[in-house]
Chain A
């Protein structure tokens, strides 16, 4: 019965969403705002409706209703409550419903805002978000129904929503349980983070389309959605980092990123979203790049849909297996249609979107931002090429050729390096006009200090070119950013005779966006430190050692003390080794690499023993063991220098976003009351 209620709720939401599309279009056409208001209310109703539908599914999950196929496939009796709750997004059907729920939440939030000034946008924002909602609901209603049940028929068991002819309901006594690899804190919050990011990007897109349709081509739509874009970007970034952390902790191959097509599918909207985030500033400040911004948000929207399509299969089965299902063609049709229609609208408004002032100086802030955008597009093209290359080569040569991680690493490294160089230069260049002379004057001091990095590295014996260039750029970005901060604060504290730290605090408060951005830049290069450490300096060894034996790697020695095997709660069997780590001959820590075997899903999981410091990680995997022989156990050991900076950088990144996105009390008022301070330290002052 509960399953019928859940399904009924999805159908009602579906109909409501269709109504809101029709009412909004009709209301706009007849210029009858009552219809638009009706559409708005229908949109608002979708949130409680999807909440109830998702609530019913959660109820089925936690109350062991294994006659429901979805519940059967992602939960089991032995799973703790929190895992049953999060199983809502543990499989494809559930995660699609979860997606719809998030979308209805965000669209409701946006329809609740004050619309007085932007009334003409309202119907079209409703239309875009409702159409997207209709699409996702149709997937769960017609193709991947989370409420489908098991039926026993003459031809065997089938899963369906409604009972097939001459069948009876099956009541399995237990479910299969969530894939053990997914039972990890990182995995519990990684999908929702990614989805939050994905779905939040729908809102700026909806406003962009509304701006295109209504012809209100100023930057109003960008100002309204600025904060949405920032939150979307935050969640998408966190989703990516958490996915990496999960891979590092659970997958047991010593890394965090494998350039898997599914990972790339999540990275691509991040690339266009990041480019968008930067280039909208040019439109706000200089009225340029309007067409480009539209194109970026359209691309982001369709890459989000594409990413959902690819990643949702990664959530459910083993590691990123592509499950072929009927919804593939649906997704591609939807992506194709929305892309063609939005680009058509963009071309329709092309002339109106021309920028008022031309770009003149190659080194001006706006030119460097444009360059940043082109580089992000470059990375996007590399990623896209890597994903579609097998198809292209097959089409033209009949031979399927794929490219692996080395392709992506080689092709993107120079682009990421150039982006880091831009991070160092762009904050110092001036809007409108900048020359080598003005830029050089601003950059030479931190630049000179940054040069100590390659000297120090060469002195220390590092000969790897990538590492030397990379770390120098990291140092340059950090130094330039700190120098900018210091200069700005000093100027203010001198002018107003203020305490240095008070000035620093007010500076941040007055221009959160800029200084939040600076924090984010620093966090990005700190993450780059971790990535460089792994890419360039990672070493590994493996071997089988008897109890008491040891393995050495770099300046580390590990000894195998003991191994024990036991059953634990959650229906798993644990094999846990005790390993001592010695650094330069001195005992530092004991770690416990282990292998958990899950009886219900018959799948093992490898959990590394990890000693983690800011300098390096020692990552030990228990590969194999013989319980009663002298052979001992097999370990694989990775030495991952600096990788902790990746996770630390991610933490600072959150801080940066919070600073940038925190609501300002009255930004216009502040500027007006103190115009001198609003631009108190222009870049090349």
Chain B
């Protein structure tokens, strides 16, 4: 049976309508999920500047781990450490000599703003001096950052290291 032109047209409208419905569903899923799980990515400087306005928000903060401040109680799994401010902008990081250099500079500079972080859980393998820590959690009224999730990166340092013990030839 050949479809008549009218059938064809109404069929087309039917499909366009169906397609729009799916599109609307996808858009709805994206919008509602974004609202429900958005995390505000802040540097420590920005965090300090915002003050109490961000107390109830999901935050994602990145900083350079200061090795000396790492305290870990294996019994309670309480992990506490301080991170120093690093710029959030990749171009800025590149301009300052790459991530490894930026992390190093942040840790040795005592004037940088610092943030105390408390996390309960296993101590991550990569948590060490000058690692980049990306913490997800919220700010407490006590000015301490309570992390629910802790992600660590020891990025380019590992790969770009120059041979240290070499026999010249």
Contact = CB atoms under 8 A, between A and B. Distances in A.
A400 B154 contact: no
A402 B167 CA distance: 47
Interface stretch (A124-132, A204-212, A321-329, A671-679): A321-329
Interface in B123-169: 123, 125-126, 136, 149, 152-156, 158-159, 161-163, 165-169
B29 A414 contact: yes
A149 to B, nearest CB: 11
Contacts of A406: 33, 36-37
Contacts of B8: 358, 360
Interface SS of chain A: mixed
Interface residues of B, number: 58
A318 B158 contact: yes
B121 A321 contact: no
B169 A170 contact: yes
A378 interface: yes
A626 B40 contact: no
Nearest to B40: A401
Given A378-B22, A385-B30, A390-B41, A170 B11 contact: no
Most chain B CB atoms below 10 A, which of A321, A358, A636: A321
A131 B91 CA distance: 30
Contacts, number: 178
A367 to B, nearest CB: 8
Q: Is the interface of B mostly helix, strand, loop or mixed?
A: mixed
Interface stretch (A100-108, A597-605, A643-651): A597-605
A317 B22 contact: no
B55 interface: no
Interface string B11-28: 110110011001001100
A176 interface: yes
A317 B60 CA distance: 22
B122 interface: yes
Contacts of B93: 324
Contact of B122 (A385, A411, A623): A623
B77 interface: yes
B162 to A, nearest CB: 5
B38 interface: yes
Contacts of B25: 378, 414
B49 interface: no
Given A323-B159, A389-B34, 16 more contacts: A73-B159, A91-B159, A157-B163, A170-B166, A173-B166, A318-B152, A323-B155, A378-B25, A401-B40, A404-B39, A410-B33, A414-B25, A415-B26, A603-B126, A634-B74, A636-B122
5 contacts: A152-B168, A170-B166, A318-B155, A321-B156, A360-B7
Interface of B: 3, 7-8, 11-12, 14-15, 18-19, 22, 25-26, 29-30, 32-34, 36-42, 60, 72, 74-77, 88, 90, 93-94, 98-99, 121-123, 125-126, 136, 149, 152-156, 158-159, 161-163, 165-169
